[in-house]
Structure 1
Amino acid sequence: MPSNLNPLGALPARFRRQRVLIVGCGDVGLRVARQLPPRLKVIALTSSAERLPALRRDRITPLLGNLDDAATLRRLAGLATRVVHLAPPPSHDPNWRDDPRTLALLRALRLRSLPQSLVYGSTSGVYGDCGGERVDETWRLSPNTPRSQRRVHAEGQVRLFGRASATPVHVLRIPGIYATDREGGTPRARLLRGTPVLRREDDVYTSHIHADDLARACLAALWRGKPQRISNVCDDTQLLMGDYFDLAADLYHLPRPPRVGRSTANEQLPLMLLSFMSESRRLDNQRMKKELGLALRYPTVSDGLCGLRS
């Protein structure tokens, strides 16, 4: 990739032999790997032997290991100079409030020479319901679900690791991820099912980020992120959830979804979807732009759903 197209710009010679470890190499992790310069070695932790050939085809060195089995993580010690941690906490126990996977990873990284930087992909759900207010990184945390509470625990452990080891750590708080080439990455399937959205007086604000822009944010934080810092990662869209689905319906030439009141939604919709409809906030992305220097390729969901780049 020519340096003028690389999100990191031209890397100094001292970076050419760097080794980047991606933990949680799903869709976004693969996008991170594909945007790295070929001269960097990319390593991905995977618990699936079936994924090894596909990762190798992407010029990624796979390493078998399981975040739920600490003994398999010892080989990670001193392996990488930089780490991108995108693996989610376990979800099998709805009452679990901690993230043992992140703890296991950090313990393995402490065993030998420490990475030069670590980026952790968290969630904007740690803010909870903010009543539609514009939220920057100083907003108090008020997680309403076990899923977001586990993320708060992981953030705390990652930042503690950074302070204790003097490793530059950067936390990215991520909203809804979308992309036309991402499985389930657009509202099309939900629109085809006719799933209702809330009527305007009950509706909530949501934020979004295109998967490619998120991958670029991970790389920017990996090299340019201030140590022990948090950044919201989102585009410039300011839309109520229902308006987002109306926009997508119009772009796809599909019927707009029906609107229902909150009481009706509580009776008709699954709990996971209702949890997203119970929190309203508009993320502020100025720190991402000013400190990480990230210029969005898809500044609005309209751009991203149409595949238009800025």
Structure 2
Amino acid sequence: MGQRAARVLQPAGRSGRGVALLALTRDTSRQDALRSKGIRPLLGDLDQPATLRRLAGIATRVLHLAPPPSTPGLALDPRTMALLQVLRLRSLPFSLVYGSTSGVYGDCQGQWVAESRSVAPATERGLRRVNAERAVRFAGLRASILRIPGIYAPDREGGTPRARLLRGTQVLQADDDVYTNHIHADDLARACVLALWRGKAQRIYHVSDDTQLKMGDYFDLAADLYGLPRPPRIARELAATALPATLLSFMSESRRMRNQRLKTELRLALRYPTVLQGLKE
């Protein structure tokens, strides 16, 4: 996602806008690839706070997309805490954008969800994200939080339903099915960049497209596009024993995310307003 956002920004030297891009990486093998795109690599690891000191005072706008560790029983996000601590060492950046998840809402039983809705995470993953959001909002700097649903893109690893359709993984029958939300990776990258400049202070934005589909219907749509068999439908009672726990957790939450702030405040015109358009790419 960082490199997609970089393409949107168009680094200085290519665009002449004077925007210098820096990327934190812990992988030395990625440095040449980043430089080839006009991005200056900074070696550091969010899991090793001592390696982050070079970030202090160097950036005017920060895009933070790293997820929390998936350690069982962990309710905090030490990576976000480490980043905020080092940013406080010198002059604070003008703005910070944090990429969170729609999972902070828990199950909304298919209701429409606005950014003002209270969070109610039902998983450790959601709890860690809520912790990170609060840390960012009260860090003493201008921060915008992007709550992001399922990301897809044909050129993204695991970014389409094709592999799951080929495996024949079941989906819930219509009566048990849940609403799911999506965003194409290119539209997400553009939203991240716009939020760096247009995001309001301590503001939450839903980065979701206009699709209104239940999960099973989404996979049926994809199967028809790919010319593959539609996935088998099963009752929720059978899903509890037939499907992996991670997949089952996504099938336990249903919501439809409103995206008015994305369009009116960030002024993003979605390139792929629906998953049908995005999967046809």
TM-score under structure 1 length normalisation: 0.88
Aligned residue in 2 for 1:272 = 246
Letter of the structure 1 residue corresponding to residue 78 of structure 2: P
Q: Secondary structure at the match of 2:200?
A: coil
User: Does 1:81 find its partner at 2:60?
Assistant: yes
Query: How is 1:123-162 mapped onto 2 (pairs within 5 angstroms)?
Result: 123-161=101-139
1:111: how far off? 0.6
Aligned equivalent of 2:7: 34
Match in the other structure for 2:82? 104
Distance 1:181 1:253 in 2: 19
2:240 counterpart letter in structure 1:
N
Contact 2:63 2:96 in 1 (8 A): yes
- 1:234-283 CA deviation, whole Å, 9 max, x = no partner? 00000000000000000011000000001111111100000000000000
In 2: Cα distance, 1:52 partner to 1:84 partner? 18
Select which of 48, 56, 60 maps to 2:39.
60
Q: Which of 150, 155, 169 is the equivalent residue of 1:195?
A: 169
The CA distance in 2 between the partners of 1:49 and 1:147, in whole Å, is: 28
Matched, 1:236 2:210: yes
Q: Secondary structure at the match of 1:45?
A: strand
- RMSD of Structure 2 on Structure 1 (CA): 0.7
Deviation at 1:205, TM superposition (A): 0.2
Deviation at 1:157, TM superposition (A): 0.2
The answer on whether the counterparts of 2:11 and 2:39 sit within 8 Å (CA) in structure 1 is no
Distance 1:295 1:94 in 2: 39
SS in 2 for 1:222: helix
Output the CA distance in 2 between the equivalents of 1:271 and 1:41.
42
Which of the numbers 46, 50, 59 marks the counterpart of 2:29? Answer: 50
AA aligned to 2:37 is D
Q: Which amino acid aligns with 1:95?
A: G
Counterpart residue number, 2:155? 181
Superposed CA offset, 1:65-118 (max 9, x none)? 011111100000011110000000011x21100001000000000011111111
> What is the rounded CA distance, in whole Å, between the counterparts of 1:203 and 1:240 in structure 2?
6
1:115-152, Cα deviation, whole Å (9 max, x unpaired)? 11110000000000000000010111110111111000
1:288, 1:301 → 2: CA distance? 17
Q: Would you say how many aligned residue pairs link Structure 1 and Structure 2? A: 275
- In structure 2, list runs of 5 or more residues that go unmatched: 13-18
Whole-Å separation in 2 of the counterparts to 1:96 and 1:54: 33
- Aligned partner of 2:73: which letter? N
Deviations 1:207-228 (A, max 9, x none): 0000000000001110001111
CA distance in 2, matches of 1:245, 1:94: 30
- Pairing of 1:85-96 with structure 2 (within 5 A): 85-91=64-70, 93-96=71-74
SS, match of residue 93 in structure 2 = coil
1:52 positional shift: 1.3
Matched residues in 1 for 2:26 and 2:69: separation?
Answer: 14
